[in-house]
Amino acid sequence: MTRIEQGSYDAIVIGAGFSGLYALIKLREMGLTATLLEAAPSIGGTWYWNRYPGARVDVESVDYSYSFSEDLQQEWSWSERYAGQEEILDYLHHVATRFGLTPDIHLGQRVTTLRYVDNEDRWQIVTADATVRHGRYCVMSTGFLSAPLAPVFDGLDSFTGMILKSTEWPDRADFSGQSVGIVGTGSTGVQMLPHIASAAATTYVFQRTPAYTVPLRNKLQLKSFEEDVKRDYTLWRLRQRQAPTGAIAVGSAAAPASAADSALSVSDAERMAIYEQCWENGGIVSFYLSFPDLMADAAANQTLSEFIRNKIRRRVHDPAVAERLIPDYPVMSKRLCADTGYFEAFNLHHVHLVDIADDGLQFDGPGVFVGSDHYDIDILVLATGFDAITGAMKRIHITGRGGQSLASHWEHEVRTAGGLMSSGFPNMFWINGPGSSAADAAPPLMAEDQMAVVGRIIVAADSAGVVADPPMVMEKEWLDECGATMSATLLPKAKSWYNGANVPGKVATGMIYLGGPVRYLELLNQFADRLIDGIEESGTEVRERNQLWAD
């Protein structure tokens, strides 16, 4: 294919979700020439692709939004407590229009190759249509839940029905009169089941691992709450940034402080009252904020695990079905889900739970076998999750200094410096990506905070006249930091996208920082300080050398 040269920029941003749009805003604000490449035909990132029925955010809308513009914060109103996928897209389109981003966004441009050209100190970016662009800086905003996982099922090619993927949902899907099989009982499957079950004639839920899920209690946004937040959004954001979850709205109010240092330091009655309050508030955030040791201490965790298990026993009428829906791993070792009628769907006569943990699924033309049991299904819905955090970047062929590929750099562990860069990949940054605390933070705010750091590094590198490339020792330190935070939690107790165990054979050491967004940003800034010191020293050396040559 003939390559088409499309220009050279100070910076190229890849991905038009929350992170990418903000990256573009920031880079332009810094006076850099920047362009954004997006594979999809529209902006929105994962919110563009994941438009399955029931898709909505699981932290409250007032938290899941940008803070960088007071005008934007004041003029935008969320209609629901938890924004649905369409409204989030509307918001992102509003942002793109309001800040004049559209001319700098190129849609339908899937980046296939990113090559650092050593002797030019810049990145060459090639898209699937063979267009070539160059940028001195490269900001990867490719998303941490954006690379769909496509499990290989025996005989799937022979399946004669329709296959729908949660990550590539069609404009219209009609379930009426159909027999539907859903694979996947994570947040996505949990959100979609009640919608599909309300239309389908028969629904089979093929479950490998049960989910802990609590009621979302979505409702229309309370105007009085919105006004309260907007009265001092700056203070709200400050508190949000200090929270261990990056979110503080619970039940259309600001979350109270944790009740105690440990779930075990209060009486059983007090603890139960707190959990009941969280349950009534709705959503996951108040549970995460209730006691700080729930994700770290097995005994503390057991109190909440048992609380939710008992709730499942009450929500599901058939005790035998309820028991099969009850998880046996510690709550929050996979991300807690929030639902609207998930367990109640199993009380409907046409919704059937099928355990596939032992036998898996074998497809055969018109249906599917689980062991020797056969199920006729017209539509197979895959809600099987993501190759999270590293997946989207690994799907691009990235080579750094000396042609070293990022895939080989990350072959044994995900080596990042500060969860922002990798050694040997100069001037490349990623936002809400590998090695960061994106999974525990509010991604829009994390994008702003990480881009502030990127901005500092770019200014330093440009004024020193050198590239930003962290030394390997910084990666080693960060690996240790990530490892220590992971082993201090109960997350290794379950197989999930947090620890990469949802993808067979995936290397995930160092993939995620679990010390919380507050500590993460402290450490990130320390990393940037050291990197900038190094950049300034190299700049001085280069200047002195040039001077010597000139003399």
Q: Which stretch binds ligand NA7 (CB under 6 A): 178-186, 264-272, 400-408, 535-543?
A: 178-186
Strands of 149-257 (E only): list them.
162-165, 179-183, 202-207, 213-215
Place of tokens 């839940």: 145
The yes or no reply on residue 124 touching ligand NA7 (CB under 6 A) is: no
The yes or no reply on residue 213 touching ligand NA7 (CB under 6 A) is: no
The yes or no reply on residue 17 touching ligand NA7 (CB under 6 A) is: no
Work out which of 93, 208, 217, 324 binds ligand NA7, going by CB under 6 A: 208
The yes or no reply on residue 185 touching ligand NA7 (CB under 6 A) is: yes
Measured CA to CA, the distance from residue 77 to residue 86 in angstroms comes to: 14
Which is nearer to ligand NA7, 188 or 489 (by Cβ)? 188
- Kindly state the DSSP code that residue 254 receives in the 8-state scheme: B
The yes or no reply on residue 335 touching ligand NA7 (CB under 6 A) is: yes
Residue with CB nearest ligand NA7?
186
The yes or no reply on residue 385 touching ligand NA7 (CB under 6 A) is: yes
Name the amino acid, one letter, at 235. L
Q: Shortest Cβ distance from residue 263 to ligand NA7 (Å)? A: 23
Q: Shortest Cβ distance from residue 159 to ligand NA7 (Å)? A: 14
Q: How many C-beta neighbours within 10 Å does residue 96 have?
A: 21
The yes or no reply on residue 187 touching ligand NA7 (CB under 6 A) is: yes
The yes or no reply on residue 530 touching ligand NA7 (CB under 6 A) is: no
Paired tokens of 278: 């969280």
The yes or no reply on residue 189 touching ligand NA7 (CB under 6 A) is: yes
Work out which of 24, 145, 250, 331 binds ligand NA7, going by CB under 6 A: 145
Measured CA to CA, the distance from residue 23 to residue 1 in angstroms comes to: 31
Q: Shortest Cβ distance from residue 186 to ligand NA7 (Å)? A: 2
- C-alpha radius of gyration, the chain, whole number: 24
- Kindly state the DSSP code that residue 430 receives in the 8-state scheme: E
Instruction: Please report how many Cα atoms fall inside a 13 Å half-sphere around the Cα of residue 501, on the Cβ side.
Output: 11
Query: For strand 111-117 and strand 397-399, is the pairing parallel, antiparallel, or unpaired?
Result: parallel
Residues 467-506 that bind ligand NA7 (CB under 6 A): 495, 497, 502
Tell me if residue 63 falls in helix, strand or coil. coil
Which is nearer to ligand NA7, 67 or 185 (by Cβ)? 185
Q: Shortest Cβ distance from residue 503 to ligand NA7 (Å)? A: 9
The yes or no reply on residue 186 touching ligand NA7 (CB under 6 A) is: yes
Strands of 142-290 (E only): list them.
162-165, 179-183, 202-207, 213-215
Q: Shortest Cβ distance from residue 232 to ligand NA7 (Å)? A: 29
Measured CA to CA, the distance from residue 40 to residue 42 in angstroms comes to: 5
Which is nearer to ligand NA7, 184 or 517 (by Cβ)? 184
> What string of DSSP letters covers 345-360?
HTTSTTEEEEE-TTT-
The yes or no reply on residue 212 touching ligand NA7 (CB under 6 A) is: no
- Partnered with residue 207 across adjacent β-strands are 355
Angle among Cα 86, 92, 94 to the nearest 5 degrees reads 100
The pattern of x and - marking residues 63 through 82 that bind ligand NA7 according to CB under 6 A reads: --------------------
Instruction: Please report how many Cα atoms fall inside a 13 Å half-sphere around the Cα of residue 247, on the Cβ side.
Output: 28
Work out which of 141, 384, 485, 499 binds ligand NA7, going by CB under 6 A: 384
Residues 147-166 that bind ligand NA7 (CB under 6 A): 151
Paired tokens of 449: 């905070």
Q: Which stretch binds ligand NA7 (CB under 6 A): 2-10, 120-128, 171-179, 378-386?
A: 378-386
Handedness of CA 89, 90, 93, 94 (dihedral sign): negative
Contacting residues toward ligand NA7, per CB under 6 A: 145, 151, 183-189, 208-209, 335, 356, 383-386, 495, 497, 502
